[in-house]
Amino acid sequence: MKDPYSVLGLNPNATDDEVKQAYRELAKKYHPDNFQNSPLAGYATKKMAEINEAYDQIISERRAAKKNAESEYYDYNAADVQNNSNYIDVRSLINSGRFDDAEMILNGVPVEGRDAEWYFLNGVIKSNKGWLDEAYGCFQTACNMDPSNREYNAAFNRIKNSRSGVGGYDRGGNFVCCTPCDICSGLICTDCLCDCCCNSF
């Protein structure tokens, strides 16, 4: 069979909505009912079968890929944490802006397996979602568990300063500093969070 995407006139990066739209347009164009008593009836029937097969194959492959991805997330456990203390998968998802997926992986880690890195990344997710009180608690716990970690301390100081009125968050969730000390603190934290989100660790 031909490449299913080429049959629908798409590239493999097409969204699900684009796949459905292309299918509908081609189905409308080649539906056999449009070719009754026409010398092209046989061609239309064959073409429609090809379109249906291509669409079914794409949908089937995408469902299987989604199921596999979900399975990988749910299988993330304490053993993975021990083998990968930096939570590379979570950092990658945060970098992609996929905070719900990153949070799902973290939530799958048993309580006894939650280390300082877990609390820090959970704080980053909460902060990006605008849940600043929860983020504060997570950053504080991360610092308590690993007091010497510069990345954790910078994030905690940043959010702590915003709560004490030294600095604050604007409506976009960005930290706004007020003094030279706050500027230094903010830059350190921004650098640390960028390291997290850009996988530079």
Q: Nearest Cα to 7, choosing from 70, 63, 53?
A: 53
Q: Are 188 and 154 in contact (CB under 8 A)?
A: yes
SS3 of residue 175 by DSSP: strand
DSSP bridge partners of 169:
175
pLDDT of residue 90: 86
CATH, domain 4-74, list 3.20.20.70, 1.10.287.110, 1.10.3720.10, 3.40.50.2000: 1.10.287.110
SS3 of residue 174 by DSSP: coil
Q: What is the pLDDT along the chain (201 residues), one digit of tens a residue?
A: 589 999 999 988 889 899 999 999 998 998 888 888 888 888 889 998 999 999 889 988 888 877 665 544 444 343 443 444 458 888 888 888 888 888 888 888 888 889 999 999 999 999 888 888 899 999 999 999 999 999 899 989 888 876 665 444 444 444 443 444 444 444 444 454 555 445 444
Q: CATH 1.10.287.110: which residues of the chain?
A: 4-74
Q: What is the pTM of this model?
A: 0.43
Instruction: Please check whether the domain covering 84-197 is classified as CATH 1.25.40.
Output: yes
Strand extents, DSSP E, the chain: 168-169, 175-176
Q: CATH 1.25.40: which residues of the chain?
A: 84-197
pLDDT of residue 165: 52
